[in-house]
Structure 1
Amino acid sequence: MFDKLEDLLIRFEEIMGELHEPTVTGNQERFRKLMKEQSDLTPIVNAYTEYKKCKTEIEDSLTMLEGENDEEMREMIKETLNENKRRVEELEQELKVLLLPRDPNDDKNVIVEIRAGAGGDESALFAAEIYRMYVHYAESQRWRVETLNVDEIGIGGMKEVQFMITGQGAYSKMKYESGVHRVQRVPETESGGRIHTSTISVAVMPEVDEDIDIVIDEKDIRVDVMRASGNGGQCVNTTDSAVRLTHYPTGIVVYSQTEKSQLQNKAKAFALLKAKLYDIEQQQRHDAEAELRRSQIGTGDRSEKIRTYNFPQGRVTDHRIGLTIYKLDKVMNGDIQEILDACIAADQAAKLAKMGEN
């Protein structure tokens, strides 16, 4: 590990030197790549620099103890020594986590798709609530949310909704939301007071940008334009602005109608289609790497039941990591960071354990 850290330290110094070269500052693409690499290496370099400083101070404290006879001074030196030893242990663990292989999609924006499942109207109502939960969470992170498509029902529910979240590290956090979410509560329409169980599915897909080669052959696509349906602003139902794409090889159909412009809707539909095709490719890769998939939290099977929201008891349970918290109201208002932090910690622990086996 320390040989690798020394190599990364050398590479960081090389990058810092290159960034000041005129040939690099004049090349925007090269400059951007170096800045990204510098940003990725900075937390590792900072932790390793502090680690080496603490190790040096431990050696200095041990040397001072050998030549110090004053008891009060010896106690002060021992206190400093113990503090540095504790910090070294913390930094060693921190460096192990920082050196774990990064998901190349972690810094990407995401496209989220929520679909109502079992439970009829109650499921659609819950889908709308989960959508609002994610919007509130995105706002707390200062991310931007843009709706790509929504199929609403008259009572305020959503049969399905697709939306993009734009922001630094969106995928690194939101990827843990993929899977089946279950709600247990008494629906407003239930006169007998019986608790019903409904489900929705959530798919979180990284946005496909220029560094990912997803080729869509024109002959594999059918493009239909039509008038938008549902609630809309001025002109939304009077022009052929809605766009539907059908991808013949996979049978995927995507629809976008949120913009007044047909061109804008078409661009959104293609972004969603590319994300879905890339997601299929990722799922196939995960299936081929079954052992790796089992060691990861929340980036695997979309049919997996990941979480239960129990309204009568006011609790949320994440089944992957065995976490139960009793603050359902806050969670539904977007306060999901505690759950995501626990998922990230469990994911890191599983990967570290896997590395320890090798």
Structure 2
Amino acid sequence: MTSRLEELAAEFGLVERRLGDPAALADGREYARLTRRHRELLPLATLLRERDELRGDLAGARELLTDPDMRELAAGEVAQLSARLEAIESELEVLLLPTDPDDAKDVVLELRAGTGGAEAGLFVMDLLRLYTRYADGAGLKVSVLDANESDLGGASRVVAEVSGDGAFRAFKWERGVHRVQRIPATESQGRIHTSTATVAVLPEAEPDEVHLDVSEVRIDVYRSQGAGGQGVNTTDSAVRAVYRAGTPDEIVVVCQDSRSQIKNREKALQVLASRLAERERAARDAQERTERASQVGSGERSEKIRTYNYPQNRVTDHRLEGDDKNSPLDVVMAGALSPIVAALGRAERERQLLAMSQEDEHGAA
């Protein structure tokens, strides 16, 4: 661990020096990369500085243990400093765990109605409102790129972009099948129905991450459409990008967010690149992480990561245990997803630490 910490501390110093280099300031992409890396390394560098200071203080306190007049006071200080040093070592161990390289990226959210008919479509819009409130609280921005809305206020599919620092980190745990249990407004017998919606979270593709041959993309332009006719674009600016039309590799992306055909085309190609990048990542990781390749599932009720139970005002995340497993539904739907996201992050770190300790034990044997 020590050698790795030294490497990261040296990298932090290098990044700080590079940030002061006029050449880096002149290169927007390089400056953004350096700023992002500086932000990632800053917590570790801060802890390392604190650890070094504490070690010096601890050495001084231990020297005072030989002084009869200062022994009692020094003993208390030694205990306090030792406890903090132990805590810092644990925190540094966590910071050394592998991080997701996609964490800082913008993302494309795809919400689709699963089983449950019209009620599933309404649930899709409920999730969109939840995610918009959650994003607002996290300093992120949600922009709806396309939505197949119904006259009942639901949607069979919604595609949205979440932009801002750490967007993928904030939303990556939402991938999968979400189940809702409630009494639909159209239910005259008061029976509880179960419906589902699937959520895909696609990190934005880097410019050099995937090669998109535009000759394999068909661009269709048409007039934007929307439910109810309110705020609908009346110009032929909506764009449909079809990748390898008519083949098993076909991908269709629709964007009608902007009144500018050029902007919609750029955004559609960007989303298409993100889908291709995700497809390639899933293929590469299929053997080690098959769940990434099938992150959404089929939308069946039995495949679920979270259940939203309205009669009991409870949200249950099925990946968590103990007190973290359940949350008040009204609070979560108001946008308070952060406690669930934090708990999922902790659980993942605990799994990583366990795997590391098992590898160490195996290596020692």
Question: Could you state the TM-score of these two structures normalised by the residue count of structure 2?
Answer: 0.88
Aligned residues: CA RMSD: 2.2
Offset from partner CA, 1:279-302 (integer Å, 9 cap, x none): 112222231323xx67xxx89732
Distance 1:267 1:17, change over 3 A: closer
Q: Secondary structure at the match of 1:287?
A: coil
1:21 Cα deviation from its structure 2 partner: 4.5
| Amino acid aligned to 2:312 | Q
Distance 1:3 1:326, change over 3 A: closer
Aligned to 2:295: 301
1:218 Cα deviation from its structure 2 partner: 2.8
Distance 1:27 1:152, change over 3 A: closer
Q: Secondary structure at the match of 2:285?
A: helix
Superposed, which structure 2 residues align to 1:148-163 within 5 Å? 148-163=145-160
Aligned to 1:95: 92
1:274 Cα deviation from its structure 2 partner: 1.3
Offset from partner CA, 1:137-187 (integer Å, 9 cap, x none): 111112111111011111111111111111111111210110000001111
Aligned to 2:212: 216
CA contact (8 A) 1:235 1:260 kept: no
Aligned to 1:179: 176
Distance 1:205 1:25, change over 3 A: closer
Q: Distance in 2 between matches of 1:267 and 1:28?
A: 20
Deviation larger for 331-340 or 212-221: 212-221
Q: Distance in 1 between matches of 2:327 and 2:35?
A: 42
Distance 1:332 1:60, change over 3 A: same
| Amino acid aligned to 2:99 | R
1:31 Cα deviation from its structure 2 partner: 4.3
Q: Distance in 2 between matches of 1:119 and 1:19?
A: 53
1:234 Cα deviation from its structure 2 partner: 6.4
Aligned to 2:363: none
Aligned to 1:334: 335
| Amino acid aligned to 1:329 | D
Offset from partner CA, 1:274-330 (integer Å, 9 cap, x none): 11111112222231323xx67xxx897322511001111111111112343341101
Q: Distance in 1 between matches of 2:176 and 2:213?
A: 30
Distance 1:329 1:7, change over 3 A: same
Aligned to 1:354: 355
Q: Distance in 1 between matches of 2:261 and 2:22?
A: 44
CA contact (8 A) 2:286 2:293 kept: no
Q: Secondary structure at the match of 1:288?
A: coil
Distance 1:268 1:141, change over 3 A: same
Aligned to 1:273: 272
Aligned to 1:51: 51
Q: Distance in 2 between matches of 1:18 and 1:242?
A: 43
Q: Secondary structure at the match of 2:160?
A: strand
| Amino acid aligned to 1:215 | H
Q: Distance in 2 between matches of 1:97 and 1:224?
A: 49
Q: Distance in 2 between matches of 1:328 and 1:318?
A: 11
Aligned to 1:123: 120
Offset from partner CA, 1:45-92 (integer Å, 9 cap, x none): 111111222223222222211x2213xx43322222121122112111
| Amino acid aligned to 2:219 | V
Distance 1:141 1:234, change over 3 A: closer
Q: Secondary structure at the match of 2:110?
A: strand
| Amino acid aligned to 1:204 | V
Offset from partner CA, 1:217-244 (integer Å, 9 cap, x none): 233222222222224556724x322221
Q: Distance in 2 between matches of 1:39 and 1:80?
A: 32
1:26 Cα deviation from its structure 2 partner: 5.1
Q: Secondary structure at the match of 1:244?
A: strand
Superposed, which structure 2 residues align to 1:254-293 within 5 Å? 254-290=253-289
Offset from partner CA, 1:234-288 (integer Å, 9 cap, x none): 6724x32222122125221111223222222212211221111111122222313
CA contact (8 A) 2:224 2:232 kept: no
Q: Distance in 2 between matches of 1:37 and 1:112?
A: 25
Distance 1:32 1:126, change over 3 A: closer
1:30 Cα deviation from its structure 2 partner: 4.5
Q: Secondary structure at the match of 1:107?
A: coil
Distance 1:30 1:127, change over 3 A: closer
Q: Distance in 1 between matches of 2:28 and 2:204?
A: 22
Deviation larger for 254-263 or 155-164: 254-263
Offset from partner CA, 1:10-67 (integer Å, 9 cap, x none): 33333334444555555555544443333322211111111222223222222211x2
Distance 1:336 1:25, change over 3 A: closer
Aligned to 2:221: 225
CA contact (8 A) 2:283 2:293 kept: no
Q: Distance in 2 between matches of 1:91 and 1:269?
A: 46
Aligned to 2:196: 199
Number of equivalenced pairs: 348
| Amino acid aligned to 1:266 | R
Find the partner of 2:242 among 246, 257, 268: 246
Q: Secondary structure at the match of 1:199?
A: strand
CA contact (8 A) 1:315 1:324 kept: no
Distance 1:190 1:268, change over 3 A: same
Q: Distance in 2 between matches of 1:283 and 1:115?
A: 20
CA contact (8 A) 1:286 1:300 kept: no
Distance 1:227 1:11, change over 3 A: closer
